[in-house]
Structure 1
Amino acid sequence: MQAKVVIVGSLNMDLVTRAPRLPRAGETLAGQSFVTVPGGKGANQAVAAARLGARVAMIGCVGEDAYGEQLRAALLAEGIDCQAVTSITGESTGVALIVVDDSSQNAIVIVAGGNGRVTSGVVERFDELLSGADVIICQLEVPMAAVGHVLKRGHELGKTVILNPAPASEPLPAQWYAWIDYLIPNESEASALTGLPVDSVATADAAATALLASGVSKVIVTLGEHGALFATRAHSQHFPAPRVKPIDTTAAGDTFVGGFAAALADGKSESDAIRFGQVAAALSVTRSGAQPSIPTFDEVQSYQP
C-alpha cells in the first residue's frame, strides 16, 4: 500500500537524564536517572502519525551502528515503511542529549550524525514515496537543501505540505513559503522566523500575520499550555489546550504535528485535526520520553476532559 503520510527528517537516539534543575554554565549536577529512547523530530512525528491512525513512510539516514539498527527496529515495530531509511557507512547515528528538570522543562543538544547526510539526491531516490503520499512533513533537523527540495517537490505533486520549522534560528528562505500549506512553529520558532516577540495568543496572531504575508498558506502557532493559534489570510482562531498535569514535555510538539497530519490524511476538517493533535500532545506530556510518550488513536478517541 502507498503511504498516506511521508515524513522526511531526523532519526536520533535520545540520551535522557533527569535532574532537579537544568545545569548552569560550568556546573556539574547529580542526575536522578538515565535512559536511551528512540527519538528525532522526524522519527517522532512518523511514530505519532502511525499510532494515531495513518499509513506512514519515513525518509532519513542513520549510521551503520547499534543506534541506527535500534531506531529502524523501533519504526518497523510501529508498522512504518522504512525502505527509505538509509544507513551511511562510516557515519554515526544522530543523538540528542536531553536534560529534563523537576518542572518538566528540558534542554537539548543535538549531534546530527547521519541526519546531516540527508541530501536532495537521497530524497530523489524515493520520489515514488512522495508521489504516493497525501501529506508530506518536514522539519529542520536535516540539511536545508534537502528540506527545500522536499517542500518544492511536494508542492509540484499537489500534496498537502507541512513544515514544522524546528529548530529555527532565523527566517526561512523566502521561496519556501509558497510551497508550504501548513507552517507549524512553536512560540520561539515563530519569533525566530519573524523577529517578533511571541509570548501570548495576541503576539502569536501578529507573528502568524507576518508569516502569511510572506506567502505561506496557513499557520498554526503551538503555545504549549496556552493552546494553539490557527491563522489564514481570512481569519484566525485560538484553540485552548486540554488541561493535564505535565511530567515531560519532550515530543509534545512532534505528537501534535503527527496527530494533525494523520487526521488531515483521514479527511478530518482543519479544526477537528487541530483538536485531535492537541489531545494527543496533551496525553504525551503526562508520560516520560519521546516516542514512548506518544498515545494511540484509541487513547485519543477515549479521552475525557
Structure 2
Amino acid sequence: MTTPIFVLGEALMDCIAQPDGQLRPLMGGSPFNMARAAALRGASAAYLNPLSTDLFGQGLAQLLLRDGVALQGGQSRLPTSLAVVQVTDGQPSYGFYREGIADRDYAVDSIVTLLRQSAKPGILHTGSLLLIPPEHHKVVAILKAAREMGWTISVDINLRPKVAHDLTEYVQALREVIALTDWLKASDEDLETMGFANVAIGESHRLVHELRQMAAAAGMATHTLSRVALTFGGEGAHLDIEGQSHHLPVPRITVADTVGAGDTFWGNTLADWALQPHDDAASAGARVAQTLENAMKAAAINCTRQGCQPPTWAEVQAF
C-alpha cells in the first residue's frame, strides 16, 4: 500500500496576459498543480480545500478528477480565486485576487477530521498562498494536529511577497511553518526574499544547513528537517536527504514558459517517496540522484508546454 498524499492549498484560475491584451484563463495554483503532478506520477493524491460551485470551480474539479486526484474538500458557494499572470522571457509574475474565495472557505476542525479519517497517516503537503498571514494561523494549527497523528509534513514555500501586507510578518510566519516541516522545497527566489545570502546552486550544502539551523532555532525539538530540495531556475536543482545529496543542471529543452515547473518537480519528488513501500531515510538517500533526475525531467517536460501541464510517468520515462 502506497503512502497517501493529502494537499492543502489554493486552486485558482491563472489569467495569462496575451500579446493582444486579452486574458487566457488556465487552471492553476501551486498546491493544485502539485496534486495533479503527484497523481500523474502514480501516487494516491487527495485535494482538501473546497472548490467553488461556479464555472471555474467546476472546471478545476474536473481536471483534478481527470488526473486522478480525489476531492475531499467538498464545494463552496464562494467564487474561485483569480491570478493575473504576465509572462516575460518565459518567467511569470502574478497579481492575485484572494478575498472571499472558495479555497479559503474551510475550517481547521474539518481538515483535521479528514486527516483523522484516513486509513493511515500519510504525507500532508501545503505551501504558497495559505502561508500568508493571517491565513497561516489556520495552517499551523492543522500541521500541529497532523504531526500528533503521525503525518509527514511537506511544504513548498513558494513565497508571494507582493500579496503580503507585511513582509517581515510573512517571513516570521514561514519560520513557524518550517519548524513543523519534515520535507521542504524552496526556490532561489524564496531564499533571497527570506534574507539568505549568496544564494547559488554551488552554495546548496550551506543553504540546506542554514535552513536546518533556522528550523531548530524556531523550536523544533522532536524531529529534523530531513529532506530539502532547492531549485535555482535555469541553473538546476539540489536534493538533500539527511546529508546525502545530489544536484543536476536543467535538461536542454525549448521553453514555452515555466508556469508550474516547481510544482511539477515537487509533485514528482513526493510521489517517488510515497510510492516506495518501505521508504526510510536510508533507502530514499540511496536513490537521491535518481529521484532528482526524474523530477527534473518532469519539470522540463512541463516547461515545453504553456501553463502547468505535468507529464505522466510514461512521458517522464520516455524523455
TM-score, normalised to structure 1, is 0.84
1:107 pairs with 2:70: no
Aligned residue pairs total 286
Structure 2 equivalent of residue 282 of structure 1: 300
How far the C-alpha of 1:122 sits from its partner, in A, is 3.2
Equivalent position amino acid for 1:164 in 2: D
1:52 pairs with 2:41: yes
Equivalent position amino acid for 1:105 in 2: Q
CA distance in 1, matches of 2:181, 2:119: 16
1:11 pairs with 2:11: yes
CA distance in 2, matches of 1:43, 1:261: 14
SS in 2 for 1:261: helix
Structure 1 equivalent of residue 149 of structure 2: 157
- Bigger CA drift: 248-257 or 111-120? 111-120
Alignment of 1:152-191 (within 5 A): 152-167=144-159, 169=161, 170-191=171-192
CA contact (8 A) 1:171 1:192 kept: no
| Root-mean-square deviation (Å) | 2.4
How far the C-alpha of 1:134 sits from its partner, in A, is 2.9
CA distance in 2, matches of 1:191, 1:97: 24
Call closer, same or farther: CA 1:272–1:2 in 2, change over 3 Å.
Answer: closer
SS in 2 for 1:294: coil
CA distance in 2, matches of 1:188, 1:247: 21
Structure 2 equivalent of residue 67 of structure 1: 56
CA distance in 1, matches of 2:210, 2:229: 13
1:298 pairs with 2:287: no
Which structure 1 segments of 5+ residues have no match?
Answer: 20-29
Call closer, same or farther: CA 1:168–1:157 in 2, change over 3 Å.
Answer: farther
Equivalent position amino acid for 1:271 in 2: A
1:259 pairs with 2:278: no
How far the C-alpha of 1:279 sits from its partner, in A, is 0.8
Alignment of 1:67-86 (within 5 A): 67-82=56-71, 84-86=72-74
Call closer, same or farther: CA 1:227–1:131 in 2, change over 3 Å.
Answer: farther
CA distance in 2, matches of 1:239, 1:158: 32
- Bigger CA drift: 37-46 or 208-217? 208-217
**Identical positions, percent:** 24
CA contact (8 A) 2:49 2:104 kept: no
Call closer, same or farther: CA 1:3–1:237 in 2, change over 3 Å.
Answer: closer
Alignment of 1:21-32 (within 5 A): 30-31=20-21
Call closer, same or farther: CA 1:232–1:210 in 2, change over 3 Å.
Answer: farther
Call closer, same or farther: CA 1:100–1:168 in 2, change over 3 Å.
Answer: closer
- Bigger CA drift: 171-180 or 217-226? 171-180
SS in 1 for 2:59: helix
Equivalent position amino acid for 1:196 in 2: F
CA distance in 1, matches of 2:147, 2:294: 25
CA distance in 2, matches of 1:263, 1:121: 30
Structure 2 equivalent of residue 219 of structure 1: 228
CA distance in 2, matches of 1:128, 1:3: 15
SS in 1 for 2:49: strand
Which structure 2 segments of 5+ residues have no match?
Answer: 162-170, 216-224, 277-283
How far the C-alpha of 1:81 sits from its partner, in A, is 1.0
SS in 2 for 1:69: helix
CA distance in 1, matches of 2:258, 2:32: 17
How far the C-alpha of 1:131 sits from its partner, in A, is 5.7
How far the C-alpha of 1:196 sits from its partner, in A, is 1.7
